[in-house]
Amino acid sequence: MRTGAAARAGQYAALVAYLVFLAFPFLWLVSTAFKPPRELGSLHPTWIPHDPTLANFRQAFDEQPLLRAALNSLVAALGAAVVAVLIATPMAYVIARRRTLLARAATGWVVVSQAFPFVLVIIPLFLVLKNLRLIDSVPGLVMVYVVWALPFALWMLVGYVRAVPVQLEEAAAVDGAGRLRTLVSVTAPLLAPGVVATALFAFVTAWNEFFFALVLLKTPEKQTLPVVLTHFIGAEGVADLGPLAAAACLATLPSLVVFAVIQRRITSGMLAGAVKS
Amino acid sequence: MRTRPFAAPTRTRPFAAVLAALALLLTACSGGDGGRDDGTVTLRFQSLAWQQESVEANKELVAEWNATHPGVRVEYVQGSWDSVHDQLLTSFEGGEAPDIIHDASDDLADFAYGGYLADLRELLPDRLRKDIPRRSWETTTFGDGVYGVPFLQEPRVLLANAAWLAESGVRIPTPDDPWTWEEFRAVTKELSDPDAGKYGVAWPLKEPVSATLNLSLSAGGQVFHRDADGRAEIRFTAADAVVPRTVRAQVGTDRSASGSTLGMGGSDTLPGFFGGRYAMVPLGFSYRQQVVQQAPEGFDWQVLPAPAGADGLTQGVSPQTLSIAEDSPYQEEAAEFVDFLLRPENMVRLALGDWMLPTGRAALKDPALRTEKYGWSTGTALAGHLRPAPAQSVRGYPEWKDKVATPALQEYYSGAIGLGELRERLVEDGNLVLARYQR
């Protein structure tokens, strides 16, 4: 018993240490956002600002159109997540269930596609989008994000589909359910956690993406949040730290909110799947 | 941010069809591009201004232009220093570059030689051509053409803890009577108490190449030499070694410079400067703004000229520039806007906003830039000593800097290699790099 209690205490200690490790950058960011310039230049910085201020937030909002940029980012990220999942889910199902040459080729493509650095494709991509008149448009950016997120989304979803026992679908068929009914009533609910996790991945990837947004969007009104954040950074990496931290705090909020809302769904779904299998 | 490489599009037919359909759908949703049909010319001006005062100055000037030039509307586009080269390169390749481009002279060579920038010789008015000194124009001259208007520049100065220096009794240098490099070394030694964690100077040398090369001009160092055919060759003479040897001696022998700051950026040294750990920090002139914003109440600081060598206070600079895209259909209108933006009174506003020096002779005479407050007068006194940064027009310089010079200098300053090996790597490895670009 004593050994068990000590082990549990050790586990909790390790968990707390891990949480602190994960939370440190964010907490430091929050602390910086509330510090006046003089505290930012202090040789002995403190966790809690001596003289907390909202001036950094005011300056950030005064200088840059953060809300509009956040809205653009939200549209792009949500659009990318929804479209990527809509395309990847049926593809993943086919790849997981049908062992055809095409399925194997698609799997190979997913692996190979990870090897292309974005600097290699940005100029051809720019020209393609220009011909499609999708330069300087958020839908164009959504399309790029979808293509960008698709291979990994597909990879994730194939794993989730394979985890759903095919015997369940066969049992449904034996009970008289048609293909569509089986997919809707049996496979889809079991796949939901995977779909949500994949959508989350696509959302966060698009939300944080910087370079494509920088290159593809020209009009200031269409710029996304990561691009606007760089406007607080000058030559040689000199940064307006306070407003940058304030704006970065705001930029992390949507991801945190999305995670908070759906993490229970992911967890419960995974548990439900485990019991059924 | 960029967590994964870009994924290549699939070649499978069904997926291509889905994407094509999606493209059509999204195109239908995206609406028009806001183009004007009323005959008004619209120019896009991509500015890299980022500090609050600087952004305000730029936006105000654009608004003033738009108010007085109804036929030529300028749209202010905010760019970023962080990624300007890649962003511009893609825009140029795609034919979507801004009409007026804010950048720095050391970033222009590839664009100028690549034919992306307009030659400004016939576009700019005499007033502007004559107002900016020839040595500044040299920073934007590539081959036979001029591809940018240099308008803001900053010398490297010594930001000093005035109280500390006064207490020590060392001679305070002025632009008329600066420290020599030897004197500077002696002064920093006198100011230091390394056992108590106090150093005469903190060298922030995260990017050691430009700092070393630009300051080495004062000692007569050139590093890059051109032969009669215009081919560049790297040499490392005794004059080139003056600055590196001084820094190395301060860090290693004298312990008058903190070794821990060698890997730091300029801003990172400021807390130690404010906290009384370093008496002086060699930084760009614009860092004064951060000092004003962040220094503790009552902190007494001053701006001193960088040490002088055989060539006096000469320093290399890479000015900020305004260029016009070769593909712009409105080059003359763009040149008119550049001329407006760089009228002496406007150049002063831009300089004050960025805490830098204007290149224009008329602007430099403005009383606002001659005041002793915040060291402006020290800076303006140095303006006449500023020269084009060595090598900025040498093709292959970026590769030499990243692959050869940066690691070699970092290792030398940290004491890992000696002067002989530094010379060997800079020259022999460096000339191999340059040879590939000059075939």
- Strand (E) or helix (H) holding B72: strand B72-78
- The CATH superfamily of B156-316+391-437 is Periplasmic binding protein-like II (3.40.190.10)
CA A20 to chain centroid, in Å, comes to 22
* B267 contacts in chain A (CB < 8 Å): 237-239
Closest-CA distance of chain B to residue A40, Å: 7
Say if residues B345 and B326 touch (Cβ distance below 8 Å). no
Q: What angle do CA B75, B38, B61 make, to 5 degrees?
A: 25
What is the per-residue pLDDT for B9?
35
Contact A91 B297 (CB under 8 A): no
- pLDDT higher than 50, residue B30: no
- What does the pLDDT look like over B41-58, one tens digit per residue? 999 999 999 888 899 999
Contact B265 A231 (CB under 8 A): no
What is the per-residue pLDDT for A135?
87
Parallel, antiparallel or unpaired: strands B149-153 and B320-324: antiparallel
pTM recorded for the entire structure: 0.82
* B197 contacts in chain A (CB < 8 Å): none
Say if residues B356 and B286 touch (Cβ distance below 8 Å). yes
A vs B, Cβ pairs < 8 A, gives 187
Contact A123 B90 (CB under 8 A): yes
What is the per-residue pLDDT for B18?
42
Which residue, among B385, B377, B434, has the nearest Cα to B405 in the 3D structure?
A: B434
* A115 contacts in chain B (CB < 8 Å): 5
Closest-CA distance of chain A to residue B170, Å: 26
Which residue, among B272, B264, B248, B256, has the nearest Cα to B200 in the 3D structure?
A: B256
* A138 contacts in chain B (CB < 8 Å): 30
* A131 contacts in chain B (CB < 8 Å): none
Domain boundaries in chain B? 41-147+320-358, 156-316+391-437
Q: Which residue of A has its CA nearest to B4?
A: A114
> Residue A268 — pLDDT band, cuts 50, 70, 90?
low
Question: CB atoms < 10 A from the CB of B398, how many?
Answer: 17
Return all residues near A217 (Cβ < 8 A) that are at least 6 apart: A136, A137, A138, A141, A223, A224, A227
- pLDDT higher than 80, residue B5: no
Which residue, among B325, B270, B256, has the nearest Cα to B299 in the 3D structure?
A: B270
Which residue, among B41, B99, B37, B97, has the nearest Cα to B70 in the 3D structure?
A: B41
- What does the pLDDT look like over A190-239, one tens digit per residue? 898 899 889 988 999 999 999 899 888 888 889 999 999 998 988 777 88
Percent of chain A surpassing pLDDT 90: 37
Start-end of H helices in chain A: 2-33, 37-40, 55-63, 66-97, 101-113, 118-131, 138-163, 166-174, 179-182, 188-208, 211-216, 225-229, 241-276
Say if residues A133 and A71 touch (Cβ distance below 8 Å). no
What is the per-residue pLDDT for B126?
96
CATH number belonging to domain A57-276: 1.10.3720.10
* B51 contacts in chain A (CB < 8 Å): 234, 240
Domain boundaries in chain A? 1-53, 57-276
**pLDDT: is B32 or B72 the higher one?**
B72
Q: Which residue of A has its CA nearest to B208?
A: A236
If you classify domain B41-147+320-358 with CATH, what class do you get?
alpha beta
Predicted complex: ipTM over 0.85: no
Contact A233 B26 (CB under 8 A): no
Query: What one-letter code names the amino acid at B209?
Result: V
- What does the pLDDT look like over A39-97, one tens digit per residue? 988 888 899 999 999 999 999 998 889 999 999 999 999 999 999 999 999 999 998 88
CB of B34 within 8 Å of a chain A CB? The answer is yes
Over range B260-284, report the average pLDDT.
95
Chain A interface, best mutation among B11, B22, B25, B26, by max A CB count within 10 A: B26
d(CA B118, CA B115): 8
Which residue, among B363, B360, B357, has the nearest Cα to B381 in the 3D structure?
A: B357
